[in-house]
Amino acid sequence: MNINGRHFRTIWPDPENRNNICIIDQRQLPHQFIIETLTCLDDSIRAIKDMHVRGAGLIGATAGFGMYLAAINAPDHGVNEALEQAAILLNRSRPTARNLGWAVGRVLAAVTTIENGIDKKQTAYKTACEIADEDAAFCKQIGTHGLELIAAISKEKNGKPVNILTHCNAGWLAFVDYGSATAPIYAARDAGIDVHVWVDETRPWNQGAKLTTWELQQEGIANTLIADNTGGHLMQNGMVDMVIVGTDRTTHTGDVANKIGTYLKALAAHDNNIPFYVALPSSTFDWELEHGTDIPIEQRSGEEITRISGMNDKTGEIETIRLVAPGTQAINYSFDVTPARLISGLITERGIVQANKEAIDALFPDKTKTDWRMTMTPTEHRHFIRKNALHLLDYLIIDQNGLQTTYSMGRTLDVSEKGLKLETTQPISQGDTLLITVGVEDDLIDLRGEVVHTEMLDGRHITGVEFQDISEDGRRIFKKYAEAFHSARAQNG
Ligand code: MRU
């Protein structure tokens, strides 16, 4: 999209030296437009974690290029190992955005099939570029499909402005180009439709106030900033024709995780009979999850709530000030989940689809799950494990810096007296701590173990865990689990 009339993407390899990946430092917007260069994996991780870049699609694209930077900085004989480690670190950088793990997995899968180190690096570059190009192309297609909805409302209103409410920034800045929620708005503008956007400020990070308003202004789209609690009032008074928001992760059944506060807007829209649409590229679907409650919700520092930053008009400096009494406690959930029943439809690159599993499967038959493990929700898994004890459920990784990440699904490959050999859905580092739920029959127990061994085997992540400090009860359940495991394995051959 355009900045001062000049076209930019949000991430691009420097044309003079493709080992430098350029981004716009979004922390400085709208006051300063600063292009930053990423040259290594650490730069990419920091850019994601500290929100120089943000938004599902752009986090994914940055992770793709982060994998590329990890590859080029590795010796030719050590690219796989470097990428496995990079995958661990990148996956932990922000937990909710599905595009992150999706992009990391895509580069990893592309590279591990290649023999030669130099070709691996080349493939990592090609794949990262494909991820970025595809993100832009899919958002453009979302625009084409979403345009139909806006055009229909415009027709009903005899060409009067269509008032669209959006939350956070699911615009061009959250993707590589066009945005998801904004793509239909840009397409409507291009089709000569009169549109006006109500922009939620989106506390605490204020993506709406700082980014969406700026982005829309750059594109000449009429917009008005509102405080987060205003949407319900506008809806009651006929001032909102439709809501379009983005999403950071959407389950296979159509539950949507998006920026905190989205759920309240969906409730208000439902109560006022206002269409509530969610726009997303298919890379944001989590095909393994069937319940919104299983989506990992990021918690960020409470300081993002107790402090606020902006430009001091007198000095022209960007300043951060404290809003609250010293010592005020704050908790900062970054996302919430809107259940599928409150959603009028999902606008995807393939078309608009109802937010339910059947409809989503029908539109994306190629993406539906084939691996049996992926066909179970963690809840179903919990029942399954009691029955045959071959598989474990949730595991929480605590890395050596104390960072916690939860994953669901995994497979027990072997059980000894001391611990487990697992196949995990994510790579894990030696020395990390794992909290694992194991269960058999009606007993479930959470065990704490240390990762003592890791390896890659045919593209699978194998992890050895030894348990520490098992209680009497834990020991009893684990023994029962081990017996059930061995007997089930003997029966299954
Ligand atoms: O915390 P952020 O800024 O990375 O959150 C992402 C968002 O801007 C929103 O949740 C957005 O609506 C979905 S991302 C396309």
Comparing 198 with 1, the larger pLDDT belongs to 198
Distance CA 299, CA 260 (A): 11
Nearest to 353 by CA among 55, 140, 143, 145: 145
Q: What is the rounded average pLDDT of the residues 40-60?
A: 97
Statement: residue 374 has pLDDT above 60: no
In Å, how far are 156, 198, 209, 256, 347 from 161, measured between CA atoms? 11, 12, 22, 28, 21
Reduced to 3 states (helix: H, G, I; strand: E, B; else coil), residue 381 is: helix
- The pick from 247, 258, 282 for probing ligand 1's pocket by mutation, whose C-beta has the most ligand atoms within 8 angstroms, reads 258
Q: How far is the CA of 256 from the centre of ligand 1 (A)?
A: 12
Binned at pLDDT 50, 70 and 90, residue 384 comes out as very low
Nearest CA to ligand 1 atom 6: 55
pLDDT digits (tens, 9 = 90+) for 125-164: 999 999 999 999 999 999 999 999 999 999 999 999 999 9
Distance CA 238, CA 228 (A): 18
Angle at 56 between CA 53 and CA 58, to 5 degrees: 45
Task: Find the helix packing angle between 79-93 and 117-156, rounded to 10°.
Answer: 30
CB 104 within 8 Å of CB 63: yes
Nearest to 167 by CA among 91, 243, 59: 243
Tell me, yes or no, if the pTM score tops 0.85: no
Statement: residue 408 has pLDDT above 60: no
CATH topology of domain 378-491: Thrombin, subunit H (2.40.10)
Q: What is the DSSP secondary-structure string of 257-281? A: EEETTHHHHHHHHHHTT--EEEE--
Domain boundaries, the chain: 2-135, 141-363, 378-491
Task: Find the helix packing angle between 79-93 and 41-49, rounded to 10°.
Answer: 10
> Is the sign of the CA dihedral 350, 353, 355, 361 positive or negative?
negative
Binned at pLDDT 50, 70 and 90, residue 459 comes out as low
* C-alpha neighbours within 13 Å on the C-beta side of residue 126: 10
**pLDDT at residue number 404:** 52
Length of the chain: 493
Sheet (strand 433-440) strand order: 404-407, 395-398, 433-440, 443-457, 460-467, 419-424, 410-415
User: What percentage of the chain reaches a pLDDT higher than 90?
Assistant: 69
CB 456 within 8 Å of CB 80: yes
Beta strands of 52-169 (E only): which ranges?
A: 162-166
State whether CATH 3.40.50.10470 applies to domain 141-363. yes
Statement: residue 288 has pLDDT above 90: no
Pocket of ligand 1 (CB under 6 A): 54-57, 168-170, 174, 180, 207, 245-248, 258-259, 334
**Tally of CB atoms within 10 A around 420:** 26
- The pick from 168, 203, 211, 343 for probing ligand 1's pocket by mutation, whose C-beta has the most ligand atoms within 8 angstroms, reads 168
As a three-state string, the secondary structure of 170-191 is CCHHHCCCCCCCCHHHHHHHHC
Distance CA 142, CA 146 (A): 6
Residues 6+ apart with CB under 8 A from 25: 34, 35, 36, 52
CB 340 within 8 Å of CB 255: yes
Distance CA 350, CA 165 (A): 23
**pLDDT at residue number 5:** 86
Reduced to 3 states (helix: H, G, I; strand: E, B; else coil), residue 299 is: strand
Q: How far is the CA of 117 from the centre of ligand 1 (A)?
A: 35
* C-alpha neighbours within 13 Å on the C-beta side of residue 371: 9
Mean pLDDT of the chain: 88
Binned at pLDDT 50, 70 and 90, residue 62 comes out as very high
* C-alpha neighbours within 13 Å on the C-beta side of residue 323: 13
User: What percentage of the chain reaches a pLDDT higher than 70?
Assistant: 87
Distance CA 286, CA 13 (A): 28
Q: What is the rounded average pLDDT of the residues 210-214?
A: 98
Binned at pLDDT 50, 70 and 90, residue 490 comes out as confident
Would you state the torsion angle of the CA atoms of residues 140, 145, 146, 148, taken in this order, to the nearest 10 degrees? 130
Check residue 203 and give left, alpha or beta (phi > 0: left; psi -120 to 50: alpha): beta
**pLDDT at residue number 397:** 59
Reduced to 3 states (helix: H, G, I; strand: E, B; else coil), residue 153 is: helix
Q: How far is the CA of 85 from the centre of ligand 1 (A)?
A: 26
Q: How far is the CA of 174 from the centre of ligand 1 (A)?
A: 7
- The pick from 259, 278, 295, 338 for probing ligand 1's pocket by mutation, whose C-beta has the most ligand atoms within 8 angstroms, reads 259
Distance CA 95, CA 296 (A): 6
CATH topology of domain 2-135: Four Helix Bundle (Hemerythrin (Met), subunit A) (1.20.120)
Q: How far is the CA of 62 from the centre of ligand 1 (A)?
A: 14
Nearest CA to ligand 1 atom 9: 259
Binned at pLDDT 50, 70 and 90, residue 372 comes out as very low
**pLDDT at residue number 491:** 66
**pLDDT at residue number 439:** 64
